[in-house]
Chain A
Amino acid sequence: MKQLSSHMAWIAVALVGAFALGYVALARGEHINALWVVVAAVSVYLISYRYYSRFIADKVLGLDATRQTPAYQHNDGLDYVPTNKYVLFGHHFAAIAGAGPLVGPVLAAQMGYLPGMLWILAGVVLAGAVQDFMVLFISVRRDGRSLGDLIKSELGMVPGVIALFGCFMIMIIILAVLALIVVKALTHSPWGVFTVGATVPIAFFMGIYMRYVRPGRIGEISVVGFVLLILAIYFGGVVSRDPSLAALFDFDGKQLTWGLVIYGFIAAVLPVWLLLAPRDYLSTFLKIGTIVGLALGVLFVAPELKMPAISRFIDGNGPVWAGNLFPFLFITIACGAVSGFHALIASGTTPKMLENESHARFIGYGGMLMESFVAIMALVAASVIDPGVYFAMNSPAAVIGTTPEAVAAVVNGWGFAITPEMLIQTTKDIGEKTILSRAGGAPTLAVGMAHILQQFVGGQALTAFWYHFAILFEALFILTAVDAGTRAGRFMLQDLLGTFVPALKKTESLPANLIATALCVALWGFFLYQGVVDPLGGINTLWPLFGIANQMLAAIALTTCAAILFKMKRQRYAWVAILPTTFLLTCTLYGGWLKVFSDNPKVGFLALANKYSAAIDKGLILAPAKTMEEMNRLVFNAHLDAGLCLFFMFVIISVVGFGFRTALLSLKSNQITTHEMPFVAVTR
């Protein structure tokens, strides 16, 4: 009887959720309130956490609370430390939350908020959270080893090395796409450039303080750093209003690209305490603070969604990114629904600090639900702004033109009412010179966040402040990711190249360090430059590549989980991992196939290359290219992107093949064949 009454409360939650979801899905013709979306999402999270994650914990994985975790077995007070479950949750969430869940949903909003919302919810419950949870569990049972190691020991050496190569290329694409987002946000924006540029000296100051003045005092210097950041935003506004000062900070895309490449190189070879660490502190705290602030803002302001539930671009002809709902929506919303990168985090520092195996459910599954909520808020922020403004900001100039009048005419033609005056007013409100064709997600998100936050704190007068606050918040953690990623990429590269040239393997040797760093920067810089000069907007090309790569990594992680369930003789439950793997495989392989072979030059890389080659043969120059050289470069880039896409497909097919083989082998064996560490009981 008691059991029944405990279920009654959950049935009530389910009913509330179902009603909210139904309301969101069926409302037509009127603007619905964002709170409906929030209520629907939270109900789905609660129900899935209570029932599905519990099923996975008890039945599928068999979490054992009496088993000692590596945090106790190898306790050293440093890497391996038994940590309070809520404290560790914070650590894990801060590590997985990034730019992905913010940008993907913004881009996906071109189809309306409903498709994106449904995939964010379904994806996280059945795929994303399952992956994070299972990988965390598997790593905890193996002394907290990394995903690459797990694949090597459970699937074999060859798939392990293939996966490592795949990871390196994913890293390069991620760095390029993240840097591209920053470039798109800062092009011809003196305010933004000044503010983001000011973070470098601020970080230097913090770094020196923490090294020499009062070593290790994180709290006090972070507060000082935060105050300086706010001042930087304020003075950015002063700079942007003074024409002669503003000219000093006004750069075009190419200049910013070179700036970022040079910056990336220097930042990656400077001592970590000087720039990387202090900026990471700022970006981490600012990120968490902003996410909390945005959540409060959405709850208190309760804004209305102006974007339709389903827009006309559901047909696949949208200007923001090309391709049909299936498979491209599932690739565009990367991290909010399922993210392969989390498998690296869940097999990184978190498993070494888990106090008890039973906490893996809360931290792995629960942490990802939280990340998904961030994605939902990004979707809300993109949907509260006028759809006309949304499309003006996110469509490439080649499609909509470059003056407010031209843009308003095109966007009106699509059925989204907008006047040139509205565009100019929005531009003025946020203190910028232009908002047209600022693709990449960050500026749109910033406009949406400013729209919500100014109603929460400060009113209309602070819109420009909040806009640049949001830009700073995104640029700050993206630049930290670029530093840290270049560094990590350099180590990977030295490791890989070291196999052929042993001298390059020495990570402490300065020449080897400089060569590997330069190579790494050159690689992502190349894709970044290509994206910046791409007349179709760059995001059009790079974001799908990133999405495919990220979902591919998730499919690899889930394949490993499924194979390990077979090895544990729990194949009865392997469908929990196989179901999302199959879906992700279908999306990435079909999406990858279309990106390479589709006849539509907007979608397929080869079709695009052929279109331009054919024109070159006839001696024609096709817009938006202006010279024969540009034509040749477009052809080359399209071939390169196609090759990269095929490489990603090869990586995933081979790892899945090895997963299959492992599963078959363990079916033949009549005993458990995993490489878990032996059981040690918890001592109390």
Chain B
Amino acid sequence: MLEELGKIGKYLGQTARLMVGVPDYEVYAAHMRLTHPEQHCMSYEEFFRERLEARYGGKGTGKCC
């Protein structure tokens, strides 16, 4: 039961972060470790900045009406 609640909480947190354009860092780090161990894996702070620029700095489509 508690485990279930914890899972739901984790998903809610993920959803809230993804709503503002920040995907899961753990997933990113795991992906880099697994598939590109030779490349630089960004720290959470770098990752956050990179995502922020990607969402707002570039050619975002703007907001919906």
* Residues of A bordering B, CB below 8 Å: 75-79, 81, 83-84, 86-88, 90-91, 94-100, 146, 171, 174, 178, 215-216, 218-219, 272-273, 276-277, 280-281, 284-285, 288, 334-335, 339, 341-342, 344-345, 348-349, 353, 477, 480-481, 484-485, 487-489, 491-492, 546, 550
Interface core residue of B17, B35, B55, B62 (most chain A CB under 10 Å): B62
CB distance from A12 to the nearest CB of B (A): 29
B19 touches A90 (CB 8 A): yes
When chains A and B are docked, how far (Å) is the Cα of A330 from the Cα of B2? 49
Which residues of B are found within 8 Å of A88, using beta-carbon distances?
18
A272 touches B59 (CB 8 A): no
When chains A and B are docked, how far (Å) is the Cα of A196 from the Cα of B65? 19
Which residues of A are found within 8 Å of B62, using beta-carbon distances?
171, 481, 484-485, 487-489
A78-B50, A88-B18, A216-B44 given; A272·B57 CB < 8 A: yes
Which residues of B are found within 8 Å of A178, using beta-carbon distances?
65
B18 touches A87 (CB 8 A): yes
CB distance from A156 to the nearest CB of B (A): 22
14 A–B pairs (Cβ distance < 8 Å), ordered by A: A77-B29, A77-B31, A87-B15, A97-B64, A215-B49, A216-B22, A216-B47, A216-B48, A216-B49, A273-B52, A288-B19, A344-B61, A481-B65, A485-B63
CB distance from A550 to the nearest CB of B (A): 6
CB distance from B15 to the nearest CB of A (A): 4
Which residues of B are found within 8 Å of A77, using beta-carbon distances?
23, 27-29, 31-32
Which residues of B are found within 8 Å of A348, using beta-carbon distances?
61
A81 touches B28 (CB 8 A): yes
A345 touches B64 (CB 8 A): yes
Counting CB contacts under 8 A, is B6 at the interface?
no
B64 touches A78 (CB 8 A): no
When chains A and B are docked, how far (Å) is the Cα of A96 from the Cα of B64? 6
Counting CB contacts under 8 A, is B38 at the interface?
no
A335-B64, A353-B23 given; A218·B56 CB < 8 A: no
Q: Quick one: closest B residue to A495, CB to CB?
A: B59
When chains A and B are docked, how far (Å) is the Cα of A178 from the Cα of B13? 30
Which residues of A are found within 8 Å of B35, using beta-carbon distances?
75
CB distance from B34 to the nearest CB of A (A): 10
CB distance from A372 to the nearest CB of B (A): 14
Which residues of A are found within 8 Å of B45, using beta-carbon distances?
215-216
A86-B11, A276-B56 given; A284·B19 CB < 8 A: yes
Which residues of B are found within 8 Å of A98, using beta-carbon distances?
63-65
When chains A and B are docked, how far (Å) is the Cα of A283 from the Cα of B58? 20
Our pick among A277, A341, A487 for the contact of B52 (Cβ within 8 Å) is A277
When chains A and B are docked, how far (Å) is the Cα of A644 from the Cα of B15? 40
A78 touches B23 (CB 8 A): yes
When chains A and B are docked, how far (Å) is the Cα of A216 from the Cα of B57? 16
A272 touches B13 (CB 8 A): no
When chains A and B are docked, how far (Å) is the Cα of A290 from the Cα of B48? 27
Counting CB contacts under 8 A, is B20 at the interface?
yes
A86-B11, A488-B59 given; A341·B65 CB < 8 A: yes
Which residues of B are found within 8 Å of A489, using beta-carbon distances?
62
The number of residues on chain B lying at the interface, defined by a beta carbon within 8 Å of a beta carbon of chain A, is 40
When chains A and B are docked, how far (Å) is the Cα of A546 from the Cα of B59? 22
Known: A98-B63, A219-B16, A353-B18. 14 other contacts (CB 8 A): A78-B51, A87-B15, A91-B15, A91-B18, A98-B64, A178-B65, A216-B45, A218-B20, A288-B19, A481-B63, A484-B63, A488-B60, A488-B61, A489-B62
When chains A and B are docked, how far (Å) is the Cα of A146 from the Cα of B60? 11
Which residues of B are found within 8 Å of A341, using beta-carbon distances?
64-65
B13 touches A79 (CB 8 A): no
Can you list the 9 inter-chain pairs with the closest CB atoms, starting with the nearest?
Answer: A216-B48, A77-B28, A100-B65, A90-B15, A481-B63, A488-B62, A272-B56, A94-B19, A77-B31
A91 touches B19 (CB 8 A): yes
A280 touches B11 (CB 8 A): no
Q: Quick one: closest A residue to B53, CB to CB?
A: A272
B56 touches A487 (CB 8 A): yes
When chains A and B are docked, how far (Å) is the Cα of A334 from the Cα of B50? 34
Contact with A along B1-19 (1 / 0, CB 8 A): 0000000000101111111
Which residues of A are found within 8 Å of B53, using beta-carbon distances?
272
When chains A and B are docked, how far (Å) is the Cα of A281 from the Cα of B61? 17
Which residues of B are found within 8 Å of A215, using beta-carbon distances?
44-45, 48-49
When chains A and B are docked, how far (Å) is the Cα of A341 from the Cα of B63? 9
Which residues of A are found within 8 Å of B18, using beta-carbon distances?
83, 87-88, 90-91, 353
When chains A and B are docked, how far (Å) is the Cα of A97 from the Cα of B49? 25
B31 touches A75 (CB 8 A): yes
Q: Quick one: closest A residue to B14, CB to CB?
A: A87
A546 touches B65 (CB 8 A): yes
CB distance from A178 to the nearest CB of B (A): 7
B63 touches A550 (CB 8 A): no
Which residues of A are found within 8 Å of B63, using beta-carbon distances?
98, 477, 480-481, 484-485
Which residues of A are found within 8 Å of B60, using beta-carbon distances?
484, 487-488
Which residues of A are found within 8 Å of B11, using beta-carbon distances?
84, 86-87
CB distance from B17 to the nearest CB of A (A): 6
A345 touches B61 (CB 8 A): yes
When chains A and B are docked, how far (Å) is the Cα of A345 from the Cα of B24? 20
Q: Quick one: closest B residue to A175, CB to CB?
A: B62
CB distance from A418 to the nearest CB of B (A): 32
Q: Quick one: closest B residue to A84, CB to CB?
A: B11
CB distance from B18 to the nearest CB of A (A): 4
Q: Quick one: closest A residue to B21, CB to CB?
A: A349
Q: Quick one: closest B residue to A281, CB to CB?
A: B20
CB distance from B43 to the nearest CB of A (A): 9
CB distance from A549 to the nearest CB of B (A): 10
Which residues of B are found within 8 Å of A79, using beta-carbon distances?
54
When chains A and B are docked, how far (Å) is the Cα of A485 from the Cα of B65? 10
B61 touches A86 (CB 8 A): no
When chains A and B are docked, how far (Å) is the Cα of A295 from the Cα of B31? 39
Q: Quick one: closest A residue to B51, CB to CB?
A: A78
CB distance from A577 to the nearest CB of B (A): 21
Q: Quick one: closest B residue to A353, CB to CB?
A: B23
Our pick among B13, B21, B50, B65 for the contact of A99 (Cβ within 8 Å) is B65
When chains A and B are docked, how far (Å) is the Cα of A13 from the Cα of B64? 32
Which residues of B are found within 8 Å of A334, using beta-carbon distances?
65
Which residues of A are found within 8 Å of B28, using beta-carbon distances?
77-78, 81
When chains A and B are docked, how far (Å) is the Cα of A489 from the Cα of B63? 11
A280 touches B64 (CB 8 A): no
Q: Quick one: closest A residue to B23, CB to CB?
A: A81
Which residues of A are found within 8 Å of B44, using beta-carbon distances?
215-216
Interface core residue of B14, B15, B28, B29 (most chain A CB under 10 Å): B15
CB distance from B25 to the nearest CB of A (A): 9
Q: Quick one: closest A residue to B11, CB to CB?
A: A87
Q: Quick one: closest B residue to A178, CB to CB?
A: B65
Q: Quick one: closest A residue to B24, CB to CB?
A: A81
